[in-house]
Amino acid sequence: MKKTSAILWQDAQHQVLFEILDLIAQPDAGDEVLRHLHDYSEHHFALEEHYMLALDYPWTADHIKAHDQFREEIGSLLELGEDDPAFRAAVSTFLTEWLKRHVLGIDKDLEAFILASELK
Ligand SMILES: [Fe+2]
Ligand SMILES: [Fe+2]
C-alpha cells in the first residue's frame, strides 16, 4: 500500500506558527512578535485558502470561518496593545491549543484533499 506523504509547506508553516506562539509567551516579547504572528498567520491562511478555492474544496466556507476566528483574536490583541507578560502567556496557551486542534482537525482534511488532487 502506498503511504501518503504530508504536504511540506503546510507542515513547515505550522511549525513556524507554533514557534512564534512560543515567543509570545516569553516575558520580554514585544509588539513586534504579535505583528509577526499576524503577518505569518495571514500568509499561511491565504495559501491554504488559495488551494481551497483552486480545488473547489467543498468545506471552504467553514475552514475560512475558522481562520477568520483566529484573525479576529490576533486583531483584537494588537488593538489592546496589552504588554502584561502573564496575559501574553495566557494568550499564547489559548492560541496554541486552538492551532493544535485546527492543525489536527480540519487542516488534516484539507491536506488529504490536496494530496488526492493534481495540485499537490
Ligand atoms: Fe487551516
Ligand atoms: Fe494550517
CATH number of the domain at 103, please.
Answer: 1.20.120.50
Q: How far is the CA of 112 from the centre of ligand 1 (A)?
A: 13
> Do the domain assignments include residue 1?
no
| pLDDT over 70 at 111, yes or no | yes
- The count of structural domains within the chain is 1
Q: Return the C-alpha cell found at 107.
A: 487542516
Ligand nearest to the CA of 103: 2
Domain containing 71: what range? 10-116
Question: Beta-carbon neighbour count of residue 117 at 10 Å?
Answer: 13
Q: Say what the pLDDT of residue 120 is.
A: 64
d(CA 42, CA 98): 16
d(CA 55, CA 58): 9
Q: How far is the CA of 81 from the centre of ligand 1 (A)?
A: 26
Nearest residue to 34 via CA among 76, 65, 1? 76
| pLDDT over 50 at 57, yes or no | yes
Output 17 or 81, whichever has higher pLDDT: 17
d(CA 64, CA 104): 16
> Do the domain assignments include residue 41?
yes
> Do the domain assignments include residue 14?
yes
Nearest residue to 51 via CA among 67, 36, 37, 38? 67
Residues with CB under 5 A from ligand 2 (ion): 107
Q: Say what the pLDDT of residue 25 is.
A: 92
| pLDDT over 90 at 19, yes or no | yes
> Do the domain assignments include residue 74?
yes
> Do the domain assignments include residue 44?
yes
Q: The whole model's pTM is what?
A: 0.91
Q: How far is the CA of 27 from the centre of ligand 2 (A)?
A: 27
> Do the domain assignments include residue 2?
no
> Do the domain assignments include residue 109?
yes
**Across 20-31, average pLDDT:** 91
> Do the domain assignments include residue 110?
yes
Q: Which residue has the cell 488526492?
A: 116
Q: Say what the pLDDT of residue 29 is.
A: 86
| pLDDT over 50 at 1, yes or no | no
Q: How far is the CA of 41 from the centre of ligand 2 (A)?
A: 9
Q: How far is the CA of 67 from the centre of ligand 1 (A)?
A: 6
